[in-house]
Amino acid sequence: MIQPSAQRSRVIELTEEIKLHSAPLRRIVSEVNHVLVGQEKLVHRMLIGLLANGHILIEGVPGLAKTTAVASLAKAINTGFQRLQFTPDLLPADLIGTLVYRPQEQTFVVQKGPIFSNLILADEINRAPAKVQSALLEAMQERQVTIGTETFPLAQPFLVMATQNPVEQEGTYQLPEAQTDRFMLKVIVDYPNRNEELQILRRMSKTAAKFDIAPVTSPAEIMAARDLVDQVYVDEKVENYVVDLVMATRTPQAYGLNLDELIHFGGSPRATINLTLAAKANAFLAGRGYVKPQDVKEIALDVLRHRVIITYEAEAEEQTSESIVREILAHIPTP
């Protein structure tokens, strides 16, 4: 068992390492901000997904620079990037690839699809039907793709950043619950404020507004940062706080919350894992070698909002999964 003094020394040492290895992440933010205005939270969440090896679902109405944000992040990292435009006529083979028959050789050969890259932008993912969305499941969870009888590992880092319009928009399909659970974070992008809107006007109101983003880091530096994220210290009190938050979405009555009739399904164990990893990544970005309860609280809404499935009673009372998660966060004592 590690003694408290030894643990403190390791945390101090780790903090110094993190300050050194977080420099590439700061360079990414600087480059992306050359293009984006007022999307600090979105950029921050994308970096958390990158560090914690978790996929991100970005939701917002058209025109809020969701696609631009993901494309800018990909350009700032010297790695593979593929943009997949999801449409109603898209087929699973268009994503993962297929077997192609060569009559001259009388054999089938594997034709790999665009999923075989590092950063994948699944643009407007909810415009494709469920069978296409489900084609991403194995790649997102297992980091591998099966074509025919062969299984191919995907290169690291591998990250899916999907954008979607709200389900109220015409021509969209609601994502299957099994797939939304594979996303570590669901980030809601809102309209910019007036000052930000004015900056956007001045920066982008050109017939050919182009911004060059230089690659400022490499996959090797990202993987090295991930190794440090794994070492970030999580105290037992913080661990219990994470577990209580997730358990409160399943059995709210046990925590004194009158929400049983409003929640159909709560967060799975994947929610517990992702909340811990995201909190570690948040601590890393703050330059710390240990997780604070505030790290958990700051990221919990994005981790849990798409994992709490509400009942018809909740909809009748005009409750949303987000409002329920906020109530849980306000009720569970912070250590």
Q: What is the pLDDT of residues 67-102, one digit of tens each?
A: 788 888 888 888 888 888 888 888 888 998 888 888
Work out the pLDDT band at 2, boundaries 50, 70, 90: very low
184 versus 171: which is more confidently predicted? 184
In tens, the pLDDT along 178-199 reads: 788 889 999 998 888 899 889 8
Q: Nearest-5° angle of CA 48, CA 145, CA 231?
A: 30
Domain boundaries for CATH 3.40.50.300 within the chain: 4-204+217-221
113 versus 131: which is more confidently predicted? 113
Residue 285 reports pLDDT greater than 90: yes
Q: Taking the mean position of all CA atoms in its chain, how far away is CA 112?
A: 25
Check residue 3 and give its pLDDT.
46
Q: CATH class for domain 232-331?
A: mainly alpha
Residue 210 reports pLDDT greater than 80: no
In 3D space, the residue among 163, 210, 129, 192 whose CA is nearest the CA of residue 59 turns out to be 163
CA quadruple 191, 184, 81, 34: dihedral positive or negative? Answer: positive
Taking each helix axis from N to C end, the angle separating 23-32 and 66-76, rounded to the nearest 10 degrees, works out to: 140
Burial letters 67-85, b for 16+ CB under 10 A, else e: bebbbbbbbbbebbbbebe
62 versus 324: which is more confidently predicted? 324
260 versus 205: which is more confidently predicted? 260
> What is the mean pLDDT of the segment spanning 221-248?
94
Beta bridge partners of 151: 146
Residue 1 reports pLDDT greater than 50: no
Give the C-alpha separation, 321 to 330, whole Å.
Answer: 14
The structure tokens listed for 133 are 């969305």
Q: What is the mean pLDDT of the chain?
A: 87
Check residue 304 and give its pLDDT.
95
Domain boundaries for CATH 1.10.8.80 within the chain: 232-331
> What is the mean pLDDT of the segment spanning 280-296?
94
Category of 11 on φ-ψ map: left (φ > 0), alpha (ψ -120 to 50) or beta:
alpha
Residue 171 reports pLDDT greater than 70: no
Which of 11-15, 55-59, 64-68, 171-175 has the highest average model confidence (pLDDT)? 55-59
Helices (H) and strands (E) in the chain, counts: 15, 11
> What is the mean pLDDT of the segment spanning 261-283?
93
165 versus 18: which is more confidently predicted? 18
In tens, the pLDDT along 239-250 reads: 999 999 999 999
Residue 219 reports pLDDT greater than 90: no
Q: Are 163 and 70 in contact (CB under 8 A)?
A: yes
Task: Specify whether domain 4-204+217-221 bears CATH 3.40.50.300.
Answer: yes
98 versus 65: which is more confidently predicted? 98
3-class DSSP state of 222: helix
In 3D space, the residue among 184, 212, 152, 209 whose CA is nearest the CA of residue 279 turns out to be 184
Check residue 199 and give its pLDDT.
87
Give the C-alpha separation, 323 to 215, whole Å.
Answer: 39
